[in-house]
Amino acid sequence: MKTQTTRPQAYIVDAVRSPTGRRKGGLADVHGADLGAHVLSAIVSRNSIPDTDYDDVIFGCVDTIG
């Protein structure tokens, strides 16, 4: 007998991107985690969902140069 498993519901709340830079440009000395922190802060401040209610956040990275 197979048991059904229920999956938690997922929601796309918002989409925010970090600034883009050029090789050895103004963002060359900024750590990726710091850019990510700005993105997370923007999502929390733009939406009426408390930061304690987010369970998972998915990040993507297209290119890492600098």
**What pLDDT is attached to residue 64?**
63
- Full 3-state SS string of the chain: CCCCCCCCCCCCCCCCCCCCCCCCCCCCCCCHHHHHHHHHHHHHHHCCCCHHHCCCCCCCCCCCCC
Cβ-count burial of 61 within 10 angstroms (0-12 exposed, 13-18 middle, 19+ buried)?
A: exposed
Tens digit of each residue's pLDDT, the chain (66 residues): 778 788 888 888 888 888 877 888 888 888 888 988 998 888 888 988 887 888 888 888 776 665
